């Protein structure tokens, strides 16, 4: 985990910079559908120094980066009716290199249209017939009211059909209040003044999902190899347990055949790099060197890391025996020296590892929790883990949280 925090730019000494650093970060994270409102706030901001949303807009406008939902549920949830049409900050989308979309998509990339509402189907037909369009043009061509357009755009985004040539349109949709943007007046009724811009008006909307299926064995092989390199780029060391967090990666038996070929060609290394992990492990030579360096480092003064629970680096309970912290946007995981020690769920402090009272209070002060809440969390931990409390943190000064 200490390696991953540096590998992903969480550690201040390895944080990336500028639009190039943002491009590298998105390349590392592509392949995940994550809550739309937290990509910039909790994922990109802490990996790229002085992050600016204009960098993401620029990368999208130049066609280097795209966004859309990669892995939607093809059918509405039974008993729930149609999927929600209004986007929110928790709606899932992915950021990815536009050139890599063809292999990031599932083996069967086509989606049914019969589970879409009538308005969404009309909008889809307009985009299929006329190509990329501004929201105002779509509204006119499909004869939609502003609220219908907003709902239809939200539905098609959540079902993985459409994207925009910028990120501002999505920001507008997920940030729109319930009472704003519901009325549009003709120009003659506004005295010639420009009416208020509605959500989703920025940029052109277009279809991005391809209907071709990977029946060709050669295409399947190239997709598996592309994913094999993507996983190495993301994790440094790849093994079967990591696929539990991966949403679209091929099956492990397909990947391991590819990794064996790459190892035989001398492009990667196979071995036992991580303790407590079953099965084969593969890594790049650079990763092995960095792991050895971190193993031999003095841990004095190691800082804390706070992760949003939706972050792919939330591996508590996946690679460890600790209780999991659900991957919900309002949850947090606090790591000390690479180990998850605290989970914050529903604004409550929960210990994931044994701490002395003194050290628990240090964390509470940093995280703005009261001593009473910490004492309750500690009692709950002792009740669930009857083994004696161990001293985990020994420090004379308070750590810095980043």
Q: What is the SS3 string spanning the chain?
A: CHHHHHHCCCCHHHCEEHHHHHHHHHHHHCCCCEEHHHHHHHHHCCCEECCCHHHHHHHHHCCCEEEECCCCCCCCCCCCCCCCCCCCCCCEEEEEEHHHHHHHCCCECCCCCCCCCHHHHHHHHHHHHHCCEEHHHHHHHCCCCHHHHHHHHHHHHHCCCEEECCCHHHHHHHHCCCCCCCCCCCHHHHCCCCCCCCCCCCCEEEECCCCCECCCHHHHHHHHHHHHHHHHHHHCEECHHHHHCCCCCCCHHHHHHHHHHHHHCCCCEEECCCCCCCCCEEECHHHHHHHHHHHCCCCCCCCEEEEECCCCCCCCCCCCCCCCCCCCCCCEEEEECCEEEEEEECCEEEECCCCCHHHHHHHHHHHCCCHHHHHHHHHHHHHHCCCCCCCCCCCCCCCCEC
Together in a domain, 17 and 143: yes
Give the integer Cα–Cα distance in Å for 205 and 213: 24
Report which of residues 181 and 15 the model is more confident about.
15
Parent domain of 235: 219-295
Together in a domain, 134 and 248: no
pLDDT in the model for residue 179: 37
pTM: 0.84
Report which of residues 300 and 296 the model is more confident about.
296
Report which of residues 368 and 3 the model is more confident about.
3
Together in a domain, 142 and 237: no
pLDDT in the model for residue 142: 86
How far is C-alpha 224 from the chain's CA centre?
Answer: 21
pLDDT in the model for residue 85: 53
In a domain, 79, yes or no: yes
Give the integer Cα–Cα distance in Å for 360 and 357: 5
Whether pLDDT at 48 is above 50 = yes
Q: Are 282 and 235 in contact (CB under 8 A)?
A: no
How far is C-alpha 135 from the chain's CA centre?
Answer: 27
Q: Among 254, 272, 295, where does a domain finish?
A: 295
Q: Which range (34-38, 152-156, 163-167, 334-338) has the least confidence?
A: 334-338
Whether pLDDT at 81 is above 50 = no
CATH assignment at residue 290:
1.10.10
Length of the chain: 402
In a domain, 235, yes or no: yes
Together in a domain, 16 and 92: yes
In a domain, 231, yes or no: yes
> Structurally, how many domains does the chain consist of?
3
In a domain, 55, yes or no: yes
Together in a domain, 340 and 271: no
In a domain, 29, yes or no: yes
pLDDT in the model for residue 76: 54
pLDDT band of 300, cuts 50, 70, 90:
low
Together in a domain, 154 and 26: yes
Together in a domain, 167 and 21: yes
Q: Among 244, 275, 295, where does a domain finish?
A: 295
Q: Of the ranges 96-110, 200-214, 348-362, which is most confident?
A: 96-110
Whether pLDDT at 346 is above 90 = no
Together in a domain, 287 and 322: no
pLDDT in the model for residue 59: 94
pLDDT in the model for residue 390: 47
Together in a domain, 339 and 273: no
Average pLDDT over residues 16-38: 95
Residue 169: which of 137, 204, 119, 196 has the closest Cα? 204
In a domain, 105, yes or no: yes
Which residue reads 């990339």 in tokens?
109
- For residue 80, how many other CB atoms are within 10 A of its CB? 8
Q: Among 207, 240, 255, where does a domain finish?
A: 207
Together in a domain, 281 and 314: no
pLDDT band of 109, cuts 50, 70, 90:
low
pLDDT in the model for residue 26: 97
User: How is residue 394 written in tokens?
Assistant: 């020994």
> By percentage, how much of the chain surpasses pLDDT 70?
83
Whether pLDDT at 373 is above 70 = yes
Together in a domain, 88 and 122: yes
Report which of residues 388 and 49 the model is more confident about.
49
Give the integer Cα–Cα distance in Å for 40 and 203: 19
**How confident is the model over 389-402, as pLDDT tens digits?**
444 444 444 444 44
Give the integer Cα–Cα distance in Å for 47 and 51: 8
Average pLDDT over residues 134-158: 89
Greatest CA separation for the chain: 76
In a domain, 31, yes or no: yes
Together in a domain, 98 and 240: no
In a domain, 212, yes or no: no
């Amino acid at each position: 985990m200490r390696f991953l925090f540096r590998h992903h730019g969480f550690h201040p000494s390895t944080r990336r910079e500028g639009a190039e650093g943002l491009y590298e970060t998105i390349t590392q994270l592509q392949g995940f559908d994550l809550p739309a409102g937290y990509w910039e706030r909790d994922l990109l901001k802490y990996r790229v120094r002085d992050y600016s949303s204009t960098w993401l807009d620029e990368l999208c406008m130049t066609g280097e980066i795209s966004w859309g939902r990669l892995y939607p549920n093809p059918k509405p949830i039974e008993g729930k009716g149609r999927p929600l049409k209004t986007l929110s900050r928790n709606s899932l989308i992915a950021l990815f290199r536009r050139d890599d979309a063809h292999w990031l998509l599932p083996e069967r990339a086509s989606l049914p249209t019969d589970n879409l509402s009538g308005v969404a189907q009309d909008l889809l037909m307009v985009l299929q017939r006329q190509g990329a369009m501004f929201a105002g043009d779509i509204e006119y061509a499909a004869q939609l009211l502003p609220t219908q357009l907003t709902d239809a755009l939200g539905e098609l985004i959540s079902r993985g059909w459409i994207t925009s040539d910028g990120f501002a349109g999505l920001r507008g949709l997920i940030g729109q209040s319930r009472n704003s943007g519901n009325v549009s007046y003709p120009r003659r009724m506004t005295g010639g003044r420009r009416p208020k811009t509605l959500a989703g008006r920025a940029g052109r909307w277009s279809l991005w999902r391809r209907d071709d299926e990977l029946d060709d064995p050669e295409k399947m092989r190239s997709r598996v190899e592309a994913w094999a390199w993507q996983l190495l780029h993301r994790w440094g060391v790849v093994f079967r347990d990591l696929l539990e967090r991966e949403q679209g990666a091929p099956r492990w038996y397909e990947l391991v055949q590819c990794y064996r070929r790459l190892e035989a060609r001398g492009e990667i290394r196979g071995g036992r790099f991580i303790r407590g992990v079953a099965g084969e492990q593969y890594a790049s030579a650079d990763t092995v060197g960095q792991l050895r360096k971190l193993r031999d480092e003095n841990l004095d003064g190691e800082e804390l890391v706070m992760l949003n629970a939706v972050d792919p680096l939330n591996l508590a309970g996946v690679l460890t025996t600790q209780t999991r912290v659900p991957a919900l946007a309002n949850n947090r995981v606090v790591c000390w020296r690479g180990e998850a020690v605290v989970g914050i769920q529903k604004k409550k402090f929960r210990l994931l590892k044994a701490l002395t009272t003194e050290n628990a209070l240090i964390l509470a002060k940093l995280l703005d929790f009261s001593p009473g809440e910490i004492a309750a969390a500690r009692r709950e931990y002792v009740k669930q883990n009857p083994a004696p409390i161990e001293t985990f943190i020994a420090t004379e000064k308070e750590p810095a949280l980043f």
